[in-house]
Amino acid sequence: MTPRWTAPARRTAALAAALVLVVVVSGCSASRPPAGRPAPGHTAGAPANSGTPTPNPAGGAPPQQPASGNPFLARVPHFPPPPKAQPVSLHGGPQAPFFTRLPTTQPVAFLTMDDGWIQSPDAIALMQAADIPFTMFLIAPVAARGAAFFKQLVAAGGSVGDHTITHPNLRGRSYANQHHEICDSATTLTQTFGQRPQLFRPPFGEYDATTLRVAHDCGYTAVLNWSETVDKGIVRYQTAEHRIHPGDIILMHFRPAFVDDVLAALRAIAAAGLTPAVLTDYLISPHA
């Protein structure tokens, strides 16, 4: 026998159903909290930032997005201004001086980026939020084709160094061949950016005495390799002590993990109590 519903009972059932619907709809429309600020420092071998949202320790509503709308502002460490640079001593030739790190005790480190093949729009937003100096060692034709992209990075604090024309291993090549790769690359970069590069990095870190002589003859202040590398959000140290030291040069590339690599490098610099600085402030040509 089907039960008969009185009018008050029907009104009560309808009200209960409406309340259930409101709860369900509210739960579906709640937004996820944004990713929290990454912890300072970096443990060697650990990913830089997983992108997993961090709970709000104070409870309640999640933190607001920065007013500017830049999605990276809350993720980059804050650094004090770099000290007034004390330039390192450079000889005048016949070979360009070579460094894997700069001999300085000032609390600074240097972020560098190579090649330029992958040009992600996130790179521009990230470096604008980071507001730090960095050096891009660019393959000249790649830079020329992506000039609009790299000029935005220059405006965000970047400077341009030379990384050859075709990215070859220079070791053992003739003076003429290396002169073409290094000097003609500088010409293209000057035409692209309106300023001649002062620093050179050999592809793969491979060089010889001819490389240093050509770099000197092409007017470069110095040839640079690196102290640490960053890839896929992991800082890889070249020494047993997993820590950035004053004067260290950090290498990364324009790769798909660009954002994770920059953040990992910056957290490692911050954890060491250092601040990013301008390479050319410390490397000034003795002929300048």
d(CA 269, CA 264): 9
Determine if the pTM surpasses 0.85.
no
- The residues near 244 (Cβ < 8 Å, ≥ 6 apart) are 109, 227, 228, 250, 268, 269, 271, 272, 274
d(CA 188, CA 89): 29
Q: Where are the domains of the chain?
A: 98-282
**Are the beta carbons of 215 and 182 closer than 8 angstroms?**
yes
> pLDDT by residue (tens digit) across 111-166?
999 999 999 999 999 999 999 999 999 999 999 999 999 999 999 999 999 999 99
The crossing angle, in degrees rounded to 10, of helices 147-155 and 185-193 is 70
Per-residue pLDDT, averaged over 31-37, amounts to 32
> pLDDT by residue (tens digit) across 56-102?
323 333 333 344 678 999 999 999 999 999 999 998 789 999 999 99
Using left for φ > 0, alpha for ψ between -120 and 50, and beta otherwise, residue 219 falls in: left
Pick the CATH number of 98-282 from 1.10.150.120, 3.30.230.10, 3.20.20.370, 3.10.350.10: 3.20.20.370
9-21 core/surface letters (b: 16 or more CB in 10 A; e: else)? eeeeeeeeeeeee
> pLDDT by residue (tens digit) across 163-194?
999 999 999 999 999 999 999 999 999 999 99
